Amino acid sequence: MKYKLAQRMQSIHPSPTLSLTAKAKQLKADGHDVVSFGAGEPDFDTPQNIKDAAIKAINNGVTKYTPVPGTNELKDAIIAKLKRDNHVEYTRDEILVSNGGKHGLFNIAMALLEEGDEVIIPAPYWVSYPEQVRVMGATPVIIPTSDQDDFKINAQQLENAITAKTKFVIINSPSNPTGVAYNKNELQSLAEVCLKKNVLIVSDEIYEHIVYDDFKHVSIASFSPEFKDITLISNGASKCYSMTGWRMGFTAGPQEIIKAMNKLQAQSTSNVCSITQAACVEAFAGPQDAVLQMRAAFQKRRKLIVNGLNNIPGINCKTPQGAFYVFPNVSEVFGKTTKQGKTINSSEDFCFHLLEDHGVAVVHGSAFGAEGYLRMSYATDEATITEGLKRIANAVKQLS
Ligand SMILES: Cc1ncc(COP(=O)(O)O)c(C=O)c1O
């Protein structure tokens, strides 16, 4: 039989980060020695107290359907967390628990967007944002940034990008892929533009606890009730609690939008796994020591990788404030030729050269809407980082 896929499938591209990680894994499985900076997930195990809560839930028979938007216990833990960490108050009907932050964001796009709408996305961006917008028939409007402006947009750029068709802007701080985070004043000036222009803000705060030195993450929704009213917070347990495989995310926002998203979820995935929800009550309400320990380990690794990259001639790397990624500028290697006779003309060329000829997996900046850079995740141990840096230095040295 000849299958005819829906037209909308033409607008979705496979995730380049997932496909690259899969390629690196395959090379490893085939016996190749590959050092990977590709993964977008912490290398730590889920903290024991969270795993214990899940085991207890299984043994206590917490194995049935739950309410679609999440159990009251979990919603209350999220509400308490939002008050404790983000200084903003929500009620149960302003919270929806979904199968990961990604699913929450998909629900937002599905509930709000229609053909002709525009969504403003600063680049470099997390790969799923433009894809989710496109699949709804809406148009991503990309505001490019570079390392020169610390990969941040300003109020004027945002205002210039807004049209009558703009539905929302996505702000991801701390950011995947750059690790850059906006401070309170910067967020305030962006949010004021949105308030003035009647544009919603989708604030992806999934890396909120992974911030370094004395950087303080702040939520736009905490600025005032007016700002809360135009903001949808997207967050979850994946990154800060090392729970990527458990699949839990949440959206906090205006009741009417949450209600619409709930309606969609009720007809698609229903509730998040009951056991995951019980574990997440412990993640948000239990001791937070593990979060701090992981953060301290990431901070040491950040120093190692930033210093190591800046010691390689031709690579320039800014020090990011958060997440576990660096986004070094590698444009100086463009135009050079490898020992194997290939010319490096793009970040993708460099990426494949590093993987195929030097056994290092990184992701090309163009996958995130920014040519001239690489994304490297340092959610891996220090020995791996040191070995990877050695290989990259060697690769660059061999270019002519
Ligand atoms: C910026 C950003 N937002 C959201 C997510 C979604 O994470 P999850 O669906 O695991 O909660 C990710 C994961 O890579 C991310 O990097």
pLDDT in tens, 314-373: 999 999 999 999 999 999 999 999 998 999 999 999 999 999 899 999 999 999 999 999
Question: Which whole number is the average pLDDT over 120-149?
Answer: 97
Domain ranges of the chain: 7-45+290-397, 48-287
CA of 206 to the centre of ligand 1 (A): 7
Residue 244 near ligand 1, beta carbon < 6 Å: yes
Structure confidence by residue, pLDDT tens digits, 248-295: 999 999 999 999 999 999 999 999 999 999 999 999 999 999 999 999
Amino acid at 95: I
pLDDT value, residue 339: 93
The atom of ligand 1 lying closest to the CA of 40 is 14
Would the pLDDT of 168 be above 70?
yes
Question: Does the beta carbon of 206 lie inside 6 Å of ligand 1?
Answer: yes
Confidence of residue 17 (pLDDT cuts 50, 70, 90): low
Mutation probe of ligand 1 site: the residue of 106, 239, 247 with most atoms within 8 A of C-beta: 239
Burial pattern 178-187, b for ≥16 Cβ within 10 A else e, equals: bbbbbeeebb
Report the run of H or E that residue 355 belongs to, with start and end: helix 347-358
Angle separating helix axes 382-397 and 289-310, nearest 10 degrees:
20
* CA distances (Å), origin 347, targets 326, 332, 350, 365, 394: 15, 11, 5, 6, 17
pLDDT exceeds cutoff 80 at 16 = no
Regarding the beta carbon of 100 and ligand 1, being less than 6 Å apart is answered yes
What is the pLDDT averaged over residues 384-395? 98
Q: Which atom of ligand 1 sits closest to the CA of residue 323?
A: 16
How far, in Å, from the CA of 40 to the mean position of ligand 1? 8
Does residue 124 have a cis peptide bond before it, meaning omega lies within 30 degrees of 0?
Answer: yes
Provide the token pair at 152: 């941040």
Q: To which residue do tokens 């990184």 refer?
A: 362
Q: Cα(105) to centroid of ligand 1, in Å?
A: 9
Q: Does the structure show a pLDDT above 80 at 18?
A: no
Question: In 3D, which of 140, 148, 145 has the Cα closest to residue 157?
Answer: 145
The domain 48-287 is classified under which CATH number: 3.40.640.10, 3.40.50.150, 3.40.190.10, 3.90.76.10? 3.40.640.10
What atom in ligand 1 is closest to the CA of residue 244?
A: 10
Please tell me the distance between residue 210's alpha carbon and the centre of ligand 1 in angstroms.
Answer: 13
pLDDT at 171: 98
pTM, full prediction: 0.96
Q: Given the CA of residue 104, which atom of ligand 1 is nearest to it? A: 9
**Predicted local confidence at residue 100, as pLDDT:** 98
pLDDT class of 24 with cuts at 50, 70, 90: confident
Q: What letter represents residue 165's amino acid? A: K
pLDDT score at 85: 98
**Reported CATH class of domain 7-45+290-397:** alpha beta
Q: What ligand 1 atom has the least distance to the C-alpha of 105?
A: 4
**Dist. CA 119–CA 141, nearest whole Å:** 6
Q: What percent of the chain stands above pLDDT 70?
A: 99
